[in-house]
Amino acid sequence: MGSKVLPGNHPESIRLAAEIIRSGGLVAFPTETVYGLGCDAVNPEAAAKVFEAKQRPAFDPLIVHLADQSMVETVAKHIPPTAIVLMDAFWPGPLTLILPKQPGVPDLVTAGLPTVAVRVPDHPVAQALIRESGTPIAAPSANPFGYVSPTTAQHVSDGLGDRVDLILDGGPCPVGVESTIVSLTGATPQLLRPGSLSLETIQSVIGPVDRAASAVEAMHAPGQSARHYATRTPVTILSAPGAWPVFRGGERRGLLAMSEPCELAGRFHAVEVLSPSGDLREAARHLFAALRRLDASGLDRIYSEPCEETGLGRAIMDRLRRCATSL
Ligand code: AMP
Ligand code: MG
Task: Using alpha carbons, select from 310, 320, 30, 64 the residue that is nearest to residue 174.
Answer: 30
Q: Could you give the angle at which helices 153-160 and 280-295 cross, rounded to 10 degrees?
A: 30
Ligand 1 pocket test, candidate residues 35, 63, 151, most atoms within 8 A of CB = 63
pLDDT (0 to 100) of residue 217: 46
For 15, residues 6+ apart whose C-beta sits below 8 A from its C-beta are 132
Are 285 and 176 in contact by the 8 Å Cβ rule? The answer is yes
Q: How confident is residue 296, by pLDDT bands cut at 50, 70 and 90?
A: very high
Are 70 and 214 in contact by the 8 Å Cβ rule? The answer is no
For 65, residues 6+ apart whose C-beta sits below 8 A from its C-beta are 31, 36, 38, 41, 118, 119, 120, 121, 126, 130, 136, 137, 138, 139
CB of 221 closer than 6 angstroms to any ligand 1 atom: yes
| pLDDT at residue 78 is higher than 50 | yes
Q: Where in the chain is the domain with CATH 3.90.870.10?
A: 5-218
| pLDDT at residue 214 is higher than 50 | no
Ligand 1 pocket test, candidate residues 54, 220, 225, 229, most atoms within 8 A of CB = 220
pTM: 0.92
Long-range contacts of 268-277 (CB under 8 A, 24+ apart): 268/303, 269/297, 269/299, 270/294, 270/297, 270/299
pLDDT average, residue stretch 131-150: 97
CB of 274 closer than 6 angstroms to any ligand 1 atom: no
SS3 127: helix
Between the CA of 142 and the centroid of ligand 2 the distance, in Å, is 7
pLDDT (0 to 100) of residue 264: 74
CB of 286 closer than 6 angstroms to any ligand 1 atom: no
Are 251 and 138 in contact by the 8 Å Cβ rule? The answer is no
Are 305 and 244 in contact by the 8 Å Cβ rule? The answer is no
pLDDT (0 to 100) of residue 326: 58
pLDDT (0 to 100) of residue 2: 58
pLDDT average, residue stretch 204-223: 68
Between the CA of 96 and the centroid of ligand 1 the distance, in Å, is 9
* pLDDT tens digits along 246-282: 888 899 999 999 998 777 767 899 999 999 999 999 9
Q: Which atom of ligand 1 is nearest to the CA of 34?
A: 2
Distance CA 4, CA 95 (A): 30
Q: Where in the chain is the domain with CATH 3.40.50.11030?
A: 235-323
pLDDT average, residue stretch 217-231: 61
Ligand 1 pocket test, candidate residues 60, 108, 190, 318, most atoms within 8 A of CB = 60
* pLDDT tens digits along 144-201: 999 999 999 999 999 999 999 999 999 999 999 999 999 999 999 999 999 999 999 9
User: Distances from the Cα of 23 to the Cαs of 2, 122, 319, in angstroms?
Assistant: 22, 25, 35
Distance CA 60, CA 140 (A): 9
| pLDDT at residue 218 is higher than 80 | no
Q: How confident is residue 224, by pLDDT bands cut at 50, 70 and 90?
A: low
Share of the chain above pLDDT 70, in %: 94
> Of 23 and 213, which is predicted with more confidence?
23
Q: How confident is residue 107, by pLDDT bands cut at 50, 70 and 90?
A: very high
pLDDT (0 to 100) of residue 215: 42
CB of 140 closer than 6 angstroms to any ligand 1 atom: yes
pLDDT (0 to 100) of residue 1: 47
The architecture (CATH level 2) of 235-323 comes to 3-Layer(aba) Sandwich (3.40)
CB of 315 closer than 6 angstroms to any ligand 1 atom: no
Q: Tell me which CATH homologous superfamily contains domain 5-218.
A: DHBP synthase (3.90.870.10)
